[in-house]
Every structure is written in structure tokens, then in C-alpha cells.
């Protein structure tokens, strides 16, 4: 029964050179079946050139509720922002 099957997250790359983007989730008994089901479900109209399926239990994510405390340390590192540097004269398309 599919309720007992693990949940898989599906990522699709629509064209070569682009990044994979999250397309959705599905239940499947194993990785191969998840890949086949993802192909049938998320690329029916030839939208993709590559698929990733990842067990949901293997994904570690930050919580949106903890956004401020989690990302605050980055705010004090001004050198990471391009506004910290002066652009030399004559440099184009930086």
C-alpha cells in the first residue's frame, strides 16, 4: 500500500545548463520506482532532461520560523556583499 511507502522529493532540470528545481513529492517503494513515477508524473510533456529523486527523510532543512536567528550571522559580514568593494574605473559588466 502506498501509505507505507517512503516519501520522495522530485527535482527536475528543464534544460541543459539550468539547475534542478523542486517539482513535488511522491510515494514509491524504492528509488528506481520513484524515478519512473517521477518521469511519468512530472515530465509528461518532455519538460525535463534530468530527474533527481531524494528520500524526504534524508533532507535536512532550516525552518522558516527560525529565519531571523538562523540567517542573522550573515548580516554582519559586509564583505560578502558587492557594495563593500569599489569598482575600478573601466571595469564593465561586473
| Partner residues linked to 53 by β-bridges | 10
> Which among 2, 51, 11, 61 is positioned nearest to 30, based on CA atoms?
2
Residue 22 confidence (pLDDT)? 95
Structural domains in the chain plus CATH codes: 2-61 (3.10.20.520)
Q: Is the pLDDT confidence value at 15 over 60?
A: yes
- Cβ contact 9:56 at 8 Å: yes
pTM: 0.67
CA dihedral 23, 27, 29, 35 (to 10 degrees): -20
pLDDT tens column, 34-79: 999 999 999 988 778 899 999 999 999 888 888 777 777 665 666 6
d(CA 87, CA 94): 8
Amino acid at each position: 500500500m502506498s501509505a507505507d511507502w517512503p516519501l520522495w522529493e522530485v527535482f527536475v532540470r528543464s534544460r541543459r545548463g539550468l539547475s534542478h528545481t523542486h517539482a513535488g513529492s511522491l510515494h514509491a517503494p524504492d528509488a528506481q520506482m520513484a524515478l519512473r513515477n517521477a518521469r511519468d508524473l512530472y515530465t509528461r510533456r518532455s519538460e525535463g532532461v534530468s530527474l533527481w529523486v531524494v528520500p524526504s527523510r534524508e533532507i535536512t532543512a532550516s525552518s522558516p520560523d527560525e529565519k531571523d536567528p538562523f540567517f542573522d550571522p550573515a548580516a554582519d559580514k559586509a564583505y560578502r556583499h558587492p557594495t563593500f568593494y569599489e569598482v575600478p574605473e573601466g571595469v564593465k559588466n561586473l
